Structure 1
Amino acid sequence: MASMRDIRQRIRVVRNIQKITSAMQMVAAARLKRAQNRVGAARPYAEKMAEVMRHLAGAASGIEHPLLEVREPRRMAVVVITADRGLCGSYNTNIVRTAMELLSEHKDLESVVLPVGRKGPSAFRQRGCTLGATFELPSRDVALADAQAITREVRRLFGSGEIDIAYLVYTRFISALRLQPTVQQLLPLQPPQAAESRLQGVEEYLFEPVPERFLASLLPRYLDVQVYQALVESVASEHGARMTAMRSATDNAAEMIDRLTLSLNRARQAAITREIAEIVGGADALKG
Protein backbone atom coordinates (compact mmCIF):
# COMPACT_ATOMS: atom_id res chain seq x y z
CA MET A 1 0.00 0.00 0.00
CA ALA A 2 1.32 3.48 -0.86
CA SER A 3 2.44 5.68 1.99
CA MET A 4 0.52 8.79 3.01
CA ARG A 5 3.31 10.96 1.64
CA ASP A 6 3.04 9.32 -1.78
CA ILE A 7 -0.74 9.66 -1.80
CA ARG A 8 -0.56 13.37 -0.87
CA GLN A 9 1.95 13.89 -3.67
CA ARG A 10 -0.36 12.20 -6.18
CA ILE A 11 -3.30 14.32 -4.99
CA ARG A 12 -1.26 17.50 -5.53
CA VAL A 13 -0.27 16.36 -9.02
CA VAL A 14 -3.85 15.50 -9.99
CA ARG A 15 -5.12 18.81 -8.60
CA ASN A 16 -2.59 20.70 -10.73
CA ILE A 17 -3.68 18.76 -13.79
CA GLN A 18 -7.32 19.47 -12.95
CA LYS A 19 -6.61 23.21 -12.83
CA ILE A 20 -4.98 23.04 -16.26
CA THR A 21 -7.82 21.05 -17.87
CA SER A 22 -10.42 23.30 -16.26
CA ALA A 23 -8.68 26.41 -17.62
CA MET A 24 -8.43 24.83 -21.09
CA GLN A 25 -12.13 23.96 -20.94
CA MET A 26 -13.06 27.58 -20.18
CA VAL A 27 -10.82 28.90 -22.96
CA ALA A 28 -12.28 26.41 -25.45
CA ALA A 29 -15.82 27.34 -24.37
CA ALA A 30 -15.14 31.04 -24.95
CA ARG A 31 -13.61 30.38 -28.37
CA LEU A 32 -16.43 27.99 -29.24
CA LYS A 33 -18.99 30.73 -28.65
CA ARG A 34 -17.26 33.02 -31.15
CA ALA A 35 -16.81 30.18 -33.62
CA GLN A 36 -20.50 29.27 -33.35
CA ASN A 37 -21.44 32.84 -34.22
CA ARG A 38 -19.23 32.70 -37.31
CA VAL A 39 -20.78 29.37 -38.35
CA GLY A 40 -24.28 30.77 -37.93
CA ALA A 41 -23.39 33.81 -40.02
CA ALA A 42 -21.62 31.93 -42.82
CA ARG A 43 -23.77 28.81 -43.19
CA PRO A 44 -26.95 30.36 -44.74
CA TYR A 45 -24.92 32.27 -47.34
CA ALA A 46 -22.85 29.22 -48.27
CA GLU A 47 -25.88 26.94 -48.55
CA LYS A 48 -27.84 29.43 -50.66
CA MET A 49 -24.87 30.03 -52.93
CA ALA A 50 -24.44 26.28 -53.37
CA GLU A 51 -28.10 25.95 -54.30
CA VAL A 52 -27.87 28.77 -56.85
CA MET A 53 -24.71 27.31 -58.36
CA ARG A 54 -26.30 23.87 -58.73
CA HIS A 55 -29.25 25.39 -60.57
CA LEU A 56 -27.02 27.54 -62.72
CA ALA A 57 -24.85 24.55 -63.61
CA GLY A 58 -27.95 22.61 -64.60
CA ALA A 59 -29.48 25.47 -66.58
CA ALA A 60 -26.19 26.21 -68.30
CA SER A 61 -25.36 22.58 -69.00
CA GLY A 62 -24.24 23.37 -72.53
CA ILE A 63 -21.62 25.85 -71.37
CA GLU A 64 -18.01 24.73 -71.34
CA HIS A 65 -15.80 25.88 -68.51
CA PRO A 66 -12.61 24.36 -67.11
CA LEU A 67 -14.09 24.01 -63.62
CA LEU A 68 -17.21 22.31 -64.99
CA GLU A 69 -15.32 19.82 -67.14
CA VAL A 70 -16.08 16.21 -66.24
CA ARG A 71 -13.19 13.92 -67.12
CA GLU A 72 -12.51 10.24 -66.70
CA PRO A 73 -11.09 10.18 -63.15
CA ARG A 74 -7.52 8.96 -62.99
CA ARG A 75 -6.01 11.32 -60.44
CA MET A 76 -7.69 12.61 -57.30
CA ALA A 77 -6.96 15.30 -54.73
CA VAL A 78 -8.36 15.24 -51.19
CA VAL A 79 -8.32 18.40 -49.07
CA VAL A 80 -8.47 17.29 -45.42
CA ILE A 81 -9.05 19.83 -42.65
CA THR A 82 -7.60 18.55 -39.37
CA ALA A 83 -6.99 20.28 -36.06
CA ASP A 84 -4.12 22.67 -35.53
CA ARG A 85 -3.45 21.34 -32.02
CA GLY A 86 -4.10 18.23 -29.97
CA LEU A 87 -6.02 17.59 -26.73
CA CYS A 88 -9.34 17.48 -28.57
CA GLY A 89 -10.36 13.87 -28.02
CA SER A 90 -11.00 11.74 -31.11
CA TYR A 91 -11.48 14.73 -33.42
CA ASN A 92 -8.33 14.18 -35.48
CA THR A 93 -8.73 10.40 -35.45
CA ASN A 94 -12.26 10.59 -36.87
CA ILE A 95 -11.43 13.01 -39.68
CA VAL A 96 -8.30 11.08 -40.69
CA ARG A 97 -10.28 7.82 -40.67
CA THR A 98 -12.94 9.38 -42.92
CA ALA A 99 -10.26 10.57 -45.35
CA MET A 100 -8.59 7.14 -45.39
CA GLU A 101 -11.95 5.49 -46.12
CA LEU A 102 -12.41 7.85 -49.07
CA LEU A 103 -8.94 7.00 -50.34
CA SER A 104 -9.67 3.28 -49.96
CA GLU A 105 -12.89 3.63 -51.98
CA HIS A 106 -10.85 5.21 -54.79
CA LYS A 107 -7.72 3.10 -54.42
CA ASP A 108 -7.59 2.59 -58.20
CA LEU A 109 -6.92 6.34 -58.63
CA GLU A 110 -3.69 8.20 -58.11
CA SER A 111 -4.33 10.37 -55.09
CA VAL A 112 -2.69 13.33 -53.41
CA VAL A 113 -3.66 14.67 -49.99
CA LEU A 114 -3.67 18.40 -49.27
CA PRO A 115 -3.75 18.62 -45.44
CA VAL A 116 -4.94 21.72 -43.62
CA GLY A 117 -3.77 22.05 -40.01
CA ARG A 118 -0.60 20.98 -38.23
CA LYS A 119 -1.89 17.53 -37.27
CA GLY A 120 -2.60 16.46 -40.84
CA PRO A 121 0.81 16.06 -42.53
CA SER A 122 2.32 13.71 -39.94
CA ALA A 123 -0.85 11.58 -39.74
CA PHE A 124 -1.04 10.99 -43.50
CA ARG A 125 2.72 10.64 -43.89
CA GLN A 126 2.67 7.78 -41.38
CA ARG A 127 -0.03 6.08 -43.47
CA GLY A 128 2.03 6.27 -46.65
CA CYS A 129 -0.09 8.88 -48.44
CA THR A 130 1.29 11.22 -51.08
CA LEU A 131 1.21 14.78 -49.77
CA GLY A 132 0.79 17.91 -51.82
CA ALA A 133 0.73 21.48 -50.56
CA THR A 134 0.08 21.94 -46.83
CA PHE A 135 -1.84 24.81 -45.27
CA GLU A 136 -2.13 26.28 -41.80
CA LEU A 137 -5.46 26.49 -39.99
CA PRO A 138 -6.01 29.66 -37.92
CA SER A 139 -7.51 28.53 -34.61
CA ARG A 140 -9.18 31.87 -33.87
CA ASP A 141 -10.17 34.09 -36.78
CA VAL A 142 -10.55 32.36 -40.14
CA ALA A 143 -10.28 34.79 -43.03
CA LEU A 144 -11.45 34.40 -46.60
CA ALA A 145 -7.81 34.67 -47.68
CA ASP A 146 -7.12 31.36 -45.91
CA ALA A 147 -9.76 29.66 -48.04
CA GLN A 148 -8.55 31.38 -51.21
CA ALA A 149 -5.05 29.98 -50.73
CA ILE A 150 -6.51 26.45 -50.71
CA THR A 151 -8.88 26.92 -53.63
CA ARG A 152 -6.12 28.56 -55.67
CA GLU A 153 -4.02 25.40 -55.39
CA VAL A 154 -6.99 23.11 -56.13
CA ARG A 155 -7.94 25.15 -59.21
CA ARG A 156 -4.35 25.07 -60.41
CA LEU A 157 -4.17 21.27 -60.09
CA PHE A 158 -7.53 20.80 -61.79
CA GLY A 159 -6.91 23.32 -64.55
CA SER A 160 -3.49 21.90 -65.41
CA GLY A 161 -4.85 18.36 -65.61
CA GLU A 162 -2.80 17.07 -62.67
CA ILE A 163 -6.06 15.92 -61.02
CA ASP A 164 -9.43 14.98 -62.47
CA ILE A 165 -11.54 15.20 -59.31
CA ALA A 166 -11.19 16.97 -55.96
CA TYR A 167 -12.84 16.20 -52.62
CA LEU A 168 -13.05 18.15 -49.38
CA VAL A 169 -13.09 16.29 -46.05
CA TYR A 170 -14.00 18.35 -42.99
CA THR A 171 -16.01 18.17 -39.76
CA ARG A 172 -19.47 19.69 -39.87
CA PHE A 173 -20.42 21.38 -36.61
CA ILE A 174 -23.87 20.39 -35.33
CA SER A 175 -23.36 20.87 -31.60
CA ALA A 176 -20.51 20.67 -29.12
CA LEU A 177 -21.40 17.02 -28.53
CA ARG A 178 -22.25 16.11 -32.13
CA LEU A 179 -19.62 16.54 -34.82
CA GLN A 180 -20.11 14.98 -38.24
CA PRO A 181 -17.17 14.14 -40.56
CA THR A 182 -18.29 15.18 -44.04
CA VAL A 183 -17.05 14.43 -47.55
CA GLN A 184 -17.89 16.97 -50.26
CA GLN A 185 -16.90 17.04 -53.91
CA LEU A 186 -15.30 20.32 -54.86
CA LEU A 187 -14.49 19.84 -58.53
CA PRO A 188 -15.89 19.37 -61.05
CA LEU A 189 -19.07 21.17 -60.09
CA GLN A 190 -22.00 18.76 -60.15
CA PRO A 191 -25.44 19.75 -61.56
CA PRO A 192 -28.54 18.91 -59.49
CA GLN A 193 -29.84 15.36 -59.54
CA ALA A 194 -32.56 14.49 -62.03
CA ALA A 195 -35.07 13.72 -59.28
CA GLU A 196 -34.38 17.05 -57.62
CA SER A 197 -34.80 18.86 -60.92
CA ARG A 198 -38.19 17.21 -61.52
CA LEU A 199 -39.42 18.16 -58.06
CA GLN A 200 -38.27 21.76 -58.19
CA GLY A 201 -38.87 22.35 -61.84
CA VAL A 202 -36.47 23.53 -64.48
CA GLU A 203 -35.61 27.20 -64.18
CA GLU A 204 -34.55 29.19 -67.20
CA TYR A 205 -31.82 31.81 -66.78
CA LEU A 206 -30.96 34.76 -68.96
CA PHE A 207 -27.28 35.60 -68.61
CA GLU A 208 -25.87 39.09 -68.73
CA PRO A 209 -23.00 39.23 -69.58
CA VAL A 210 -22.50 36.07 -71.58
CA PRO A 211 -22.69 32.81 -69.56
CA GLU A 212 -19.00 32.02 -69.95
CA ARG A 213 -17.91 35.32 -68.41
CA PHE A 214 -20.58 35.09 -65.70
CA LEU A 215 -19.61 31.61 -64.57
CA ALA A 216 -15.90 32.35 -64.91
CA SER A 217 -16.26 35.08 -62.28
CA LEU A 218 -18.76 33.22 -60.07
CA LEU A 219 -17.24 29.74 -59.92
CA PRO A 220 -14.00 30.73 -58.16
CA ARG A 221 -16.02 32.73 -55.64
CA TYR A 222 -18.31 29.76 -55.07
CA LEU A 223 -15.32 27.52 -54.32
CA ASP A 224 -13.89 30.12 -51.96
CA VAL A 225 -17.17 30.27 -50.03
CA GLN A 226 -17.47 26.49 -49.78
CA VAL A 227 -13.93 26.07 -48.46
CA TYR A 228 -14.34 29.05 -46.12
CA GLN A 229 -17.50 27.49 -44.72
CA ALA A 230 -15.67 24.21 -44.18
CA LEU A 231 -12.83 26.01 -42.37
CA VAL A 232 -15.26 27.84 -40.09
CA GLU A 233 -17.14 24.62 -39.32
CA SER A 234 -13.91 22.75 -38.63
CA VAL A 235 -12.60 25.40 -36.24
CA ALA A 236 -15.88 25.36 -34.31
CA SER A 237 -15.79 21.55 -34.24
CA GLU A 238 -12.21 21.58 -32.92
CA HIS A 239 -13.13 23.93 -30.08
CA GLY A 240 -16.23 21.89 -29.28
CA ALA A 241 -14.24 18.65 -29.22
CA ARG A 242 -11.54 20.22 -27.04
CA MET A 243 -14.11 21.64 -24.61
CA THR A 244 -15.78 18.23 -24.28
CA ALA A 245 -12.46 16.44 -23.85
CA MET A 246 -11.23 18.88 -21.21
CA ARG A 247 -14.53 18.66 -19.33
CA SER A 248 -14.22 14.90 -19.30
CA ALA A 249 -10.60 15.16 -18.13
CA THR A 250 -11.59 17.58 -15.35
CA ASP A 251 -14.36 15.24 -14.18
CA ASN A 252 -12.00 12.27 -14.26
CA ALA A 253 -9.46 14.21 -12.21
CA ALA A 254 -12.12 15.02 -9.61
CA GLU A 255 -13.05 11.34 -9.37
CA MET A 256 -9.39 10.39 -9.00
CA ILE A 257 -8.93 12.96 -6.24
CA ASP A 258 -11.92 11.47 -4.40
CA ARG A 259 -10.46 7.98 -4.67
CA LEU A 260 -7.01 9.14 -3.55
CA THR A 261 -8.54 11.07 -0.64
CA LEU A 262 -10.36 7.94 0.45
CA SER A 263 -7.13 5.97 0.24
CA LEU A 264 -5.36 8.68 2.26
CA ASN A 265 -8.03 8.54 4.96
CA ARG A 266 -7.75 4.78 5.13
CA ALA A 267 -3.96 4.98 5.35
CA ARG A 268 -4.23 7.62 8.11
CA GLN A 269 -6.76 5.52 9.98
CA ALA A 270 -4.52 2.45 9.69
CA ALA A 271 -1.54 4.46 10.98
CA ILE A 272 -3.54 5.75 13.95
CA THR A 273 -4.82 2.27 14.74
CA ARG A 274 -1.30 0.91 14.58
CA GLU A 275 0.02 3.62 16.91
CA ILE A 276 -2.80 3.00 19.39
CA ALA A 277 -2.05 -0.71 19.32
CA GLU A 278 1.62 0.01 19.97
CA ILE A 279 0.77 2.29 22.88
CA VAL A 280 -1.61 -0.27 24.41
CA GLY A 281 0.98 -3.00 23.92
CA GLY A 282 3.65 -0.89 25.59
CA ALA A 283 1.36 -0.12 28.53
CA ASP A 284 0.55 -3.80 29.00
CA ALA A 285 4.26 -4.61 28.92
CA LEU A 286 4.96 -2.05 31.66
CA LYS A 287 2.19 -3.49 33.84
CA GLY A 288 3.52 -6.98 33.37
Structure 2
Amino acid sequence: MSSAGLSRLAPAKINLFLHVTGRRPAQGPQAGYHELESLVVFAQDAEACDRIAVAPAETLSLTIEGAQAAALTETSDDNLVLCAARQLQAMNGRNAAITLTKTLPVASGIGGGSADAAATLHALRALWQIEVDDDTLGRMAAQLGADVPVCLFGRAAMMTGIGEQIVAQPALPPIWLVLVNPGVALSTRDVFTALAGQFSPAMPLERRPNSAADLAILLRARRNDLEAPARFLAPEIDPVLAALKAQNGCLLARLSGSGATCFGLFAAKRDAEFAARNLSRACPKWWTVATAAG
Protein backbone atom coordinates (compact mmCIF):
# COMPACT_ATOMS: atom_id res chain seq x y z
CA MET A 1 0.00 0.00 0.00
CA SER A 2 1.03 3.65 -0.29
CA SER A 3 3.45 5.32 2.10
CA ALA A 4 0.49 7.26 3.56
CA GLY A 5 -1.02 4.07 4.98
CA LEU A 6 0.08 1.13 7.08
CA SER A 7 -1.06 -2.34 8.06
CA ARG A 8 -1.08 -4.68 11.05
CA LEU A 9 -1.56 -8.43 11.33
CA ALA A 10 -4.39 -9.76 13.48
CA PRO A 11 -3.17 -13.22 14.56
CA ALA A 12 -5.37 -16.10 15.66
CA LYS A 13 -5.68 -16.42 19.44
CA ILE A 14 -5.49 -19.97 20.78
CA ASN A 15 -6.65 -20.96 24.27
CA LEU A 16 -4.28 -23.75 25.31
CA PHE A 17 -6.52 -24.28 28.32
CA LEU A 18 -9.63 -22.47 29.53
CA HIS A 19 -11.24 -22.81 32.94
CA VAL A 20 -14.54 -21.19 33.85
CA THR A 21 -13.90 -20.25 37.47
CA GLY A 22 -17.03 -18.32 38.43
CA ARG A 23 -19.67 -15.82 37.44
CA ARG A 24 -20.22 -12.18 38.28
CA PRO A 25 -23.30 -11.32 40.39
CA ALA A 26 -26.59 -10.66 38.64
CA GLN A 27 -26.30 -6.96 39.57
CA GLY A 28 -23.34 -4.66 39.27
CA PRO A 29 -20.49 -4.21 36.75
CA GLN A 30 -20.38 -6.90 34.05
CA ALA A 31 -23.46 -8.52 35.61
CA GLY A 32 -23.70 -12.21 34.84
CA TYR A 33 -20.38 -12.43 32.97
CA HIS A 34 -18.38 -15.62 33.46
CA GLU A 35 -14.92 -15.42 34.99
CA LEU A 36 -12.15 -17.29 33.23
CA GLU A 37 -8.61 -18.51 33.55
CA SER A 38 -6.92 -19.19 30.24
CA LEU A 39 -3.41 -19.62 28.88
CA VAL A 40 -3.42 -17.86 25.52
CA VAL A 41 -0.90 -17.93 22.67
CA PHE A 42 -0.95 -16.35 19.21
CA ALA A 43 -0.26 -17.63 15.73
CA GLN A 44 3.00 -16.40 14.25
CA ASP A 45 2.49 -17.28 10.57
CA ALA A 46 0.60 -14.94 8.24
CA GLU A 47 -1.59 -17.81 6.98
CA ALA A 48 -3.20 -17.88 10.44
CA CYS A 49 -3.78 -14.13 10.66
CA ASP A 50 -6.23 -11.54 9.38
CA ARG A 51 -4.78 -8.23 8.22
CA ILE A 52 -5.92 -4.66 8.86
CA ALA A 53 -4.77 -1.92 6.48
CA VAL A 54 -5.56 1.75 7.10
CA ALA A 55 -5.04 4.92 5.05
CA PRO A 56 -6.15 8.56 5.35
CA ALA A 57 -9.57 9.26 3.82
CA GLU A 58 -12.40 11.79 3.75
CA THR A 59 -14.79 9.46 5.58
CA LEU A 60 -14.50 6.46 7.88
CA SER A 61 -15.09 3.31 5.83
CA LEU A 62 -14.53 -0.43 5.98
CA THR A 63 -13.89 -2.80 3.09
CA ILE A 64 -13.75 -6.54 3.74
CA GLU A 65 -11.98 -8.92 1.39
CA GLY A 66 -10.36 -12.33 1.59
CA ALA A 67 -11.45 -15.96 1.75
CA GLN A 68 -13.76 -15.49 4.76
CA ALA A 69 -15.16 -12.08 3.78
CA ALA A 70 -18.64 -13.34 2.84
CA ALA A 71 -19.41 -14.13 6.49
CA LEU A 72 -19.19 -10.46 7.53
CA THR A 73 -21.09 -7.26 6.76
CA GLU A 74 -19.08 -4.11 6.06
CA THR A 75 -21.71 -1.68 7.32
CA SER A 76 -22.91 -3.55 10.42
CA ASP A 77 -23.10 -1.25 13.44
CA ASP A 78 -21.74 -4.03 15.66
CA ASN A 79 -18.72 -4.82 13.47
CA LEU A 80 -15.84 -4.77 15.95
CA VAL A 81 -13.44 -3.12 13.50
CA LEU A 82 -15.78 -0.16 13.04
CA CYS A 83 -16.52 -0.03 16.78
CA ALA A 84 -12.78 0.11 17.53
CA ALA A 85 -12.24 2.79 14.89
CA ARG A 86 -15.05 4.95 16.26
CA GLN A 87 -13.58 4.76 19.75
CA LEU A 88 -10.33 6.31 18.55
CA GLN A 89 -12.08 8.64 16.10
CA ALA A 90 -13.89 10.21 19.07
CA MET A 91 -10.50 11.43 20.32
CA ASN A 92 -9.57 13.45 17.23
CA GLY A 93 -12.38 13.37 14.66
CA ARG A 94 -10.18 12.05 11.85
CA ASN A 95 -11.17 9.49 9.20
CA ALA A 96 -9.61 6.50 7.51
CA ALA A 97 -10.27 3.89 4.87
CA ILE A 98 -9.93 0.51 6.59
CA THR A 99 -9.44 -2.75 4.72
CA LEU A 100 -9.88 -6.03 6.54
CA THR A 101 -8.43 -9.06 4.77
CA LYS A 102 -10.38 -11.87 6.39
CA THR A 103 -8.54 -15.21 6.55
CA LEU A 104 -9.72 -16.59 9.89
CA PRO A 105 -13.13 -18.29 10.13
CA VAL A 106 -15.86 -16.25 11.81
CA ALA A 107 -17.28 -17.28 15.22
CA SER A 108 -14.62 -19.97 15.50
CA GLY A 109 -13.05 -19.68 18.97
CA ILE A 110 -9.76 -18.16 17.84
CA GLY A 111 -10.60 -14.52 18.45
CA GLY A 112 -10.82 -13.38 14.84
CA GLY A 113 -13.11 -10.41 15.46
CA SER A 114 -11.28 -9.49 18.67
CA ALA A 115 -7.90 -9.69 16.94
CA ASP A 116 -9.23 -7.50 14.12
CA ALA A 117 -10.44 -4.90 16.63
CA ALA A 118 -7.10 -4.94 18.46
CA ALA A 119 -5.16 -4.55 15.20
CA THR A 120 -7.44 -1.65 14.26
CA LEU A 121 -6.64 0.13 17.53
CA HIS A 122 -2.91 -0.37 16.98
CA ALA A 123 -3.05 0.70 13.34
CA LEU A 124 -5.18 3.81 13.79
CA ARG A 125 -3.21 4.97 16.83
CA ALA A 126 -0.12 4.90 14.60
CA LEU A 127 -1.82 6.40 11.52
CA TRP A 128 -3.45 9.24 13.42
CA GLN A 129 -0.44 9.63 15.77
CA ILE A 130 -2.69 9.68 18.80
CA GLU A 131 -0.85 10.02 22.10
CA VAL A 132 -2.68 7.36 24.08
CA ASP A 133 -0.77 4.98 26.34
CA ASP A 134 -1.12 1.21 26.38
CA ASP A 135 -3.16 1.19 29.62
CA THR A 136 -5.73 3.58 28.16
CA LEU A 137 -5.85 1.61 24.94
CA GLY A 138 -6.36 -1.54 27.01
CA ARG A 139 -9.35 -0.01 28.77
CA MET A 140 -10.81 0.90 25.40
CA ALA A 141 -10.23 -2.66 24.24
CA ALA A 142 -12.10 -4.06 27.25
CA GLN A 143 -15.19 -2.10 26.23
CA LEU A 144 -15.20 -3.89 22.87
CA GLY A 145 -15.18 -7.48 24.10
CA ALA A 146 -13.66 -9.97 26.54
CA ASP A 147 -10.93 -11.18 24.16
CA VAL A 148 -9.89 -7.81 22.78
CA PRO A 149 -7.49 -6.87 25.65
CA VAL A 150 -5.45 -10.07 25.32
CA CYS A 151 -5.42 -9.70 21.51
CA LEU A 152 -4.17 -6.14 21.98
CA PHE A 153 -1.39 -7.57 24.19
CA GLY A 154 -0.59 -10.04 21.42
CA ARG A 155 1.75 -12.53 23.06
CA ALA A 156 1.61 -15.49 25.45
CA ALA A 157 -0.38 -14.51 28.51
CA MET A 158 -2.58 -15.74 31.32
CA MET A 159 -6.02 -14.18 30.98
CA THR A 160 -8.26 -13.98 34.06
CA GLY A 161 -11.27 -12.08 35.35
CA ILE A 162 -13.70 -11.64 32.45
CA GLY A 163 -10.71 -11.24 30.17
CA GLU A 164 -9.47 -7.85 31.31
CA GLN A 165 -6.69 -9.13 33.61
CA ILE A 166 -3.63 -9.98 31.51
CA VAL A 167 -0.35 -11.33 32.89
CA ALA A 168 2.56 -11.98 30.54
CA GLN A 169 3.92 -15.53 30.62
CA PRO A 170 7.62 -16.38 30.59
CA ALA A 171 8.70 -17.46 27.13
CA LEU A 172 7.15 -20.81 26.26
CA PRO A 173 9.19 -23.45 24.44
CA PRO A 174 8.92 -23.48 20.63
CA ILE A 175 5.62 -25.07 19.62
CA TRP A 176 3.70 -25.68 16.41
CA LEU A 177 -0.06 -25.85 16.15
CA VAL A 178 -2.32 -27.26 13.49
CA LEU A 179 -5.59 -25.31 13.54
CA VAL A 180 -8.66 -26.98 12.08
CA ASN A 181 -12.20 -25.65 11.76
CA PRO A 182 -14.92 -27.88 10.28
CA GLY A 183 -16.77 -24.94 8.76
CA VAL A 184 -19.19 -24.48 11.65
CA ALA A 185 -19.84 -21.11 13.29
CA LEU A 186 -20.53 -21.31 17.03
CA SER A 187 -22.05 -18.54 19.12
CA THR A 188 -20.02 -17.94 22.28
CA ARG A 189 -23.22 -16.98 24.07
CA ASP A 190 -24.85 -20.29 23.10
CA VAL A 191 -21.85 -22.29 24.31
CA PHE A 192 -21.82 -20.56 27.70
CA THR A 193 -25.58 -21.08 27.98
CA ALA A 194 -25.06 -24.81 27.42
CA LEU A 195 -22.30 -24.98 30.05
CA ALA A 196 -23.27 -27.28 32.92
CA GLY A 197 -21.67 -28.47 36.14
CA GLN A 198 -19.53 -26.86 38.79
CA PHE A 199 -17.06 -24.05 38.20
CA SER A 200 -13.39 -25.05 38.01
CA PRO A 201 -10.67 -24.06 40.45
CA ALA A 202 -7.89 -21.87 39.14
CA MET A 203 -4.85 -23.90 38.01
CA PRO A 204 -2.12 -21.56 36.76
CA LEU A 205 1.02 -23.22 35.44
CA GLU A 206 3.16 -24.17 38.42
CA ARG A 207 6.37 -24.03 36.41
CA ARG A 208 7.72 -23.01 33.03
CA PRO A 209 7.63 -25.95 30.59
CA ASN A 210 11.02 -26.81 29.09
CA SER A 211 9.77 -28.40 25.85
CA ALA A 212 6.64 -28.87 23.78
CA ALA A 213 6.26 -32.35 25.29
CA ASP A 214 6.56 -30.91 28.79
CA LEU A 215 3.95 -28.27 27.94
CA ALA A 216 1.62 -31.04 26.75
CA ILE A 217 2.00 -32.78 30.12
CA LEU A 218 0.99 -29.59 31.95
CA LEU A 219 -1.93 -29.01 29.60
CA ARG A 220 -3.28 -32.53 30.07
CA ALA A 221 -3.75 -31.72 33.77
CA ARG A 222 -5.97 -28.85 32.65
CA ARG A 223 -8.83 -28.60 30.16
CA ASN A 224 -11.15 -26.42 28.15
CA ASP A 225 -14.39 -26.22 30.14
CA LEU A 226 -16.23 -25.06 27.00
CA GLU A 227 -15.30 -28.16 24.99
CA ALA A 228 -18.19 -30.35 26.23
CA PRO A 229 -20.97 -27.83 25.53
CA ALA A 230 -19.40 -26.91 22.19
CA ARG A 231 -19.27 -30.56 21.14
CA PHE A 232 -22.90 -30.95 22.18
CA LEU A 233 -23.94 -28.01 20.00
CA ALA A 234 -21.61 -28.89 17.11
CA PRO A 235 -20.97 -32.66 16.77
CA GLU A 236 -18.77 -31.82 13.76
CA ILE A 237 -16.04 -31.06 16.31
CA ASP A 238 -15.66 -34.73 17.24
CA PRO A 239 -14.15 -35.95 13.94
CA VAL A 240 -11.79 -32.97 13.92
CA LEU A 241 -10.39 -33.88 17.33
CA ALA A 242 -10.13 -37.54 16.34
CA ALA A 243 -8.30 -36.67 13.11
CA LEU A 244 -5.83 -34.42 14.92
CA LYS A 245 -5.10 -37.04 17.59
CA ALA A 246 -4.35 -39.58 14.85
CA GLN A 247 -1.60 -37.43 13.28
CA ASN A 248 2.01 -38.46 13.80
CA GLY A 249 3.69 -36.21 16.35
CA CYS A 250 0.49 -34.76 17.80
CA LEU A 251 1.07 -34.29 21.54
CA LEU A 252 -2.39 -32.98 22.40
CA ALA A 253 -5.63 -32.14 20.59
CA ARG A 254 -8.15 -29.73 22.10
CA LEU A 255 -10.84 -27.18 21.31
CA SER A 256 -9.81 -23.51 21.38
CA GLY A 257 -12.12 -21.10 23.17
CA SER A 258 -15.79 -21.71 22.43
CA GLY A 259 -14.92 -23.43 19.14
CA ALA A 260 -15.43 -24.87 16.70
CA THR A 261 -11.70 -24.50 15.85
CA CYS A 262 -9.50 -27.21 17.35
CA PHE A 263 -5.74 -27.36 17.62
CA GLY A 264 -3.14 -30.08 17.60
CA LEU A 265 0.08 -29.38 19.49
CA PHE A 266 3.35 -30.45 17.83
CA ALA A 267 7.01 -30.15 18.77
CA ALA A 268 8.36 -30.20 15.19
CA LYS A 269 7.52 -27.94 12.26
CA ARG A 270 7.77 -30.79 9.77
CA ASP A 271 5.26 -32.91 11.70
CA ALA A 272 2.79 -30.03 11.95
CA GLU A 273 3.07 -29.16 8.27
CA PHE A 274 2.77 -32.82 7.24
CA ALA A 275 -0.33 -33.21 9.44
CA ALA A 276 -1.90 -30.08 7.95
CA ARG A 277 -1.31 -31.39 4.41
CA ASN A 278 -2.79 -34.77 5.36
CA LEU A 279 -5.91 -33.21 6.84
CA SER A 280 -6.35 -30.79 3.95
CA ARG A 281 -6.25 -33.65 1.46
CA ALA A 282 -8.56 -35.88 3.51
CA CYS A 283 -11.09 -33.14 4.39
CA PRO A 284 -10.74 -30.29 1.87
CA LYS A 285 -13.81 -28.48 3.23
CA TRP A 286 -12.13 -27.99 6.62
CA TRP A 287 -10.15 -24.83 7.21
CA THR A 288 -6.68 -26.14 8.12
CA VAL A 289 -3.40 -24.35 8.74
CA ALA A 290 -0.08 -25.06 10.49
CA THR A 291 1.58 -22.25 12.40
CA ALA A 292 4.23 -21.54 15.00
CA ALA A 293 2.70 -20.03 18.13
CA GLY A 294 3.85 -18.06 21.12
In the superposition, the TM-score normalised over structure 2's length comes to: 0.23
Structure with greater proportional strand content: 2
Structure with greater contact order relative to length (CA < 8 Å, sep ≥ 6): 1
